[in-house]
């Protein structure tokens, strides 16, 4: 089949306004689709990156109820437990409330030993890099109770630009200081996530910095741990270990609920309601409506081309040529629109990540997502072109030539 | 009769309209030799355009035989007809039927895409066709930028671009003023006399009909007149 490419391109350029508006509509729809899918993937990523052999012990009453610090050595004594660390949400901001990132009070040396497969210390005090960086950071943690490590995202974000050696004042939202001032932290190292879905914009600092301040009356808060993260020994029966921990505290001041890290991450997502389903539904609706919009555009084009189909047949082209012209046109419009939407999604990735902040820390326009958007755009164009072009296969040349739009 | 270039033998054609069957041609016979220029006249509904469509392979007959340049057009499948049309028939329509998004040159190039010619050969052929109809200077103009007469001349250039055996013209001067119509008829006459093209033209215009070599008059699907037009009549037209 000889395909009249020039005619196809001329048709595209002949109706600039209509085709341009359709391209804009597809761009917006594809951008929205990428945005929504990236959010859903971001939410689900925390579950995927979570370890199934790491446990989280939290209060059985609520996540917002703290656990006593005395629980830690009891947890460590349970058979199958390798190591545990306190994990407490700090909730403070830098200079302005919009400059908010996650901070956790942990047992730093235990934390670094537990997360060797998840994060890597890439630089410690004095510019130490490589394998020695971790030891240097652990030493710094031991020598300064204000010591903290940050992800490279916080180093690279121009709003923060924290560097090793900087003293960073954070204004508390949950734990005010008696003098009404900020909490000071000293940056002693940078970490880099080893898994795609682990955020690089978190700060970890010493839990005893908090607890000692509460004890001395420098700040207001309870001496406690938020939750305990517990690494189990290799091949340990994880469920049994969890059960033993909970049984141990069944009659304690706080009953506990111990679940896997993955289940804990799922719990956070479900706490937001069924957000993935909600966002997926919106994405589906966007796709559905834009599909009909493109089909409508192509159908209008198709109706205006019946006579042209007759002319082409009289000249010797087969009826399928007219169908292919519309498919080509639909495909090109959709791909241009989809391409613009993808470019928009990619170029706005960083600002959107900053806008979403820690609420959805894994917002990424991945290559897979780009491919999906290209595939959706292509299918959209082909189906719209087919819907408009299939009737041409039925027309006899004389019928088509008699048609006037 | 078998040596004729265009042959219609016992051709029947009917249409269904609103539940009624309209018999347009009933065992119709016609024979046209090669390089003839035939004008078909007659009132509306007499079957003129139906004959053009059957000869051009745009429509199929209910029964009978249509043969053009030895090819049994009435026996060809719907799949084979487009390729045959592209090689053997050139169409000129009353309303020109140029594609408005293409320039005059691109319109003429369009049927050449179906030939095995290379890109440069196609461009040369299109230039030559436009030159024949005297529109080389308007090659880059779109149909909307041309007069009616010029549009029809571009349509003729498109019809002859592939060097077809037969040119089928359905009221080619119907939408034109006298002067433009004369120009178009002059070109058709030259195509017949100088290039030997067989032309089958439907017209309501007696002056246009006199430019042909032969006049056929139809009424209700029946040939009521078939006469040669002599030189004197043609010159007086």
Say what the pLDDT of residue A265 is: 77
CA angle A126, A358, A87 (to 5 degrees): 65
> Is the pLDDT assigned to residue A405 strictly greater than 60?
no
8 A C-beta contact, residue A170 and residue A94: yes
Average pLDDT over residues A126-149: 92
- The number of C-beta contacts closer than 8 angstroms across A and B is 64
Average pLDDT value for residue range A121-130: 91
Q: ipTM higher than 0.85?
A: yes
Chain A hits for B53, CB-CB cut-off 8 Å, are: 398
Say yes or no for a CB contact (<8 Å) between B58 and A7: no
Q: Please indicate whether, in this complex, the C-beta atoms of B59 and A396 are within 8 angstroms of each other.
A: yes
Q: Which of A62, A67, A48 is nearest to A228 (CA)?
A: A67
Residue A402 contacts B, CB cutoff 8 Å: no
Tokens of A183: 């909490």
Among A28, A91, A58, residue whose Cα is nearest residue A357: A91
Question: What is the DSSP secondary-structure string of B130-177?
Answer: HHHTT-GGGTT--GGGS-HHHHHHHHHHHHHTT--SEEEEESTTTTS-
| Degrees to nearest 5, angle at CA B62 with B58 and B65 | 75
Q: What is the mean pLDDT of residues B69-97?
A: 93
Over the range B187-215, which residues count as b (16 or more CB within 10 Å of their CB) and which as e? bbbebbeeeebbbbbbbebeebbbbbbbb
pLDDT at A359: 64
At residue B93, what are phi and psi to the nearest 5 degrees? -105, 160
Tokens of B45: 């509904």
Tokens 């003429």, located at residue: B108
The answer to whether A320 contacts chain B (CB < 8 Å) is no
**Residue from A11, A315, A318, A324 to probe the interface with B (highest B Cβ count within 10 Å):** A315
Q: Using 50, 70 and 90 to split pLDDT, how confident is the model at A290?
A: confident
Contacts of A313 in chain B (CB under 8 A): 58, 82, 85
CB atoms within 10 A of CB A32: 19
Whether residue A115 is predicted with pLDDT greater than 60 in this model: the reply is: yes
Report the percent of chain A where pLDDT is more than 90.
57
H or E stretch covering A170: strand A167-172
pLDDT for residue B231 is more than 80: no
Beta strands in A90-166 (DSSP E): 92-93, 102-106, 119-123, 147-151
Which residue numbers of B have CB closer than 8 Å to A's CBs?
53, 56, 58-59, 79, 82-87, 91, 93, 97, 99-102, 106, 109-111, 113-114, 158, 162
Using the predicted structure, report yes or no on whether residue B219 has a pLDDT greater than 80: yes
Closest-CA residue of chain B to A394:
B78
Task: Tell me the domains of chain B and their CATH numbers.
Answer: 33-63+77-236 (3.40.50.300)
Selecting from B85, B113, B162 the residue whose C-beta is nearest the C-beta of A2 gives: B113
Return the pLDDT at A402. Answer: 83
Cα–Cα distance for residue pair A93/A95, rounded to 1 Å? 6
Q: Quickly state the pLDDT bin for A197 (edges 50, 70, 90).
A: low
Percent of chain B with pLDDT over 90: 84
Q: Inter-chain contact A2–B97, Cβ cutoff 8 Å?
A: no
Tell me whether residues A398 and B114 touch, CB distance under 8 A: no
What are the structure tokens assigned to A293, written together? 């919009």
Total residue length of chain B: 237
Least confident of A183-197, A269-283, A313-327: A269-283
Average pLDDT, rounded, for chain A: 89
Predicted confidence at residue B1, as pLDDT, reads 44
How many angstroms separate the CA atoms of A42 and A199, rounded? 10
Residue B73: list chain A partners with CB under 8 A: none
Q: Which of residues 260-319 of A touch B (CB under 8 A)?
A: 307-308, 310-318
CB contact under 8 A, A401 and B110: no
Contact flag B82-A317 (C-beta cutoff 8 Å) = yes
Distance of CA A52 to CAs A110, A270, A331, B5, B120, Å?
Answer: 19, 18, 44, 86, 68
Which tens digit of pLDDT belongs to each residue from A214-267?
A: 999 999 999 989 999 999 988 889 899 999 999 999 987 889 999 988 888 777
Residue A233 is classified by DSSP as: P
Question: Band of the pLDDT at A388, cuts 50, 70, 90?
Answer: very high
Distance set, CA B212 to CA A346, B38, B95, B201, B204 (Å): 68, 6, 21, 8, 13
* DSSP type of residue A130: T
SS3 A333: helix
The full set of domain ranges for chain A reads 5-46+274-402, 66-253
């Amino acid at each position: 089949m000889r395909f009249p490419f020039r005619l196809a391109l001329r048709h595209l350029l002949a109706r600039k306004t209509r085709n341009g508006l359709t391209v804009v509509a597809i761009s917006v729809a594809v951008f929205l689709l990428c945005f929504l899918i990236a959010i859903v993937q971001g939410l689900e990523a925390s579950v995927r990156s979570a370890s199934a052999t790491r446990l989280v012990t939290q209060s059985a009453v609520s996540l917002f109820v703290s656990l006593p610090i005395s629980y830690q050595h009891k947890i460590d004594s349970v058979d199958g437990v390798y190591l545990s660390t306190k994990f407490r949400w700090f909730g403070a901001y830098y200079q302005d409330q919009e400059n908010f990132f996650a901070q956790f009070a942990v047992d730093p040396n235990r934390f670094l030993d537990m997360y060797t497969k998840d994060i890597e210390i890439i630089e410690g005090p004095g510019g130490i890099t490589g394998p020695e960086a971790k030891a240097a950071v652990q030493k710094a943690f031991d020598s300064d109770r204000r010591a903290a490590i940050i992800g490279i995202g916080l180093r690279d974000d121009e709003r923060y630009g924290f560097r090793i050696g900087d003293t960073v004042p954070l204004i508390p939202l949950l734990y005010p200081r008696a003098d009404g001032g900020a909490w000071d932290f000293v940056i002693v190292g940078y970490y880099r996530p080893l898994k795609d879905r682990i955020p690089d914009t978190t700060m970890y600092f010493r839990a005893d910095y908090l607890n000692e301040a509460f004890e001395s009356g420098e700040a207001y808060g309870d001496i406690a741990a938020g939750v305990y993260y517990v690494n189990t020994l290799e091949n340990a029966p994880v469920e049994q270990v969890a059960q033993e921990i909970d049984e141990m505290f069944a009659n304690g001041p706080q009953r506990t609920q111990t679940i896997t890290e993955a289940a804990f991450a799922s719990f956070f997502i479900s706490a937001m309601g069924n957000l993935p389903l909600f966002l997926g539904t919106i994405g589906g609706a966007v796709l559905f409506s834009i599909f009909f919009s493109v089909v409508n555009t192509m159908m209008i084009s198709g109706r205006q081309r019946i006579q042209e189909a007759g002319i082409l047949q009289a000249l010797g082209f087969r009826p399928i040529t007219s169908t292919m012209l519309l498919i080509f046109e639909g495909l090109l419009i959709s791909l241009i629109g989809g391409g613009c939407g993808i470019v928009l999604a990619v170029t706005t990735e960083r600002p959107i990540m900053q806008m979403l902040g820690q609420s959805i820390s894994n917002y990424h326009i991945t290559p897979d997502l780009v491919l999906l958007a290209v595939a959706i755009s292509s299918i959209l164009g082909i189906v719209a072109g087919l819907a408009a072009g299939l009737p041409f296969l039925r027309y006899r040349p004389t019928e088509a030539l008699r048609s006037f739009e | 009769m078998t040596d004729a270039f265009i042959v219609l033998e016992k051709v029947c054609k009917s249409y269904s309209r609103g539940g009624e069957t309209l018999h347009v041609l009933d065992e119709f016979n016609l024979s046209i030799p090669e390089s003839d220029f035939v004008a078909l006249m007659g009132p509306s509904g007499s079957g003129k355009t139906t004959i053009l469509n059957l000869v051009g392979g745009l429509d199929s007959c209910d029964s009978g035989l249509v043969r053009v340049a030895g090819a049994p057009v009435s026996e060809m499948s719907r799949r084979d007809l487009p390729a045959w049309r592209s090689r053997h028939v050139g169409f000129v329509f009353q309303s020109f039927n140029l594609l408005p998004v293409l320039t005059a040159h691109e319109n003429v190039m369009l049927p050449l895409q179906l030939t095995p010619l290379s890109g440069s050969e196609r461009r040369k052929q299109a230039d030559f066709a436009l030159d024949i109809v005297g529109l080389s200077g308007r090659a880059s103009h779109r149909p909307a930028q041309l007069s009616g007469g010029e549009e029809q001349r571009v349509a003729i250039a498109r019809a002859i671009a592939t060097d077809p055996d037969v040119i089928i013209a359905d009221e080619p001067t119907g939408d034109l003023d006298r002067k433009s119509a004369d120009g178009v008829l002059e070109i058709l006459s030259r195509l017949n006399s100088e290039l030997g093209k067989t032309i089958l033209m439907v017209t309501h215009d007696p002056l246009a009909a006199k430019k042909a070599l032969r006049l056929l008059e139809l009424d209700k699907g029946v040939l009521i007149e078939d006469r040669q037009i002599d030189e004197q009549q043609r010159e007086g037209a």
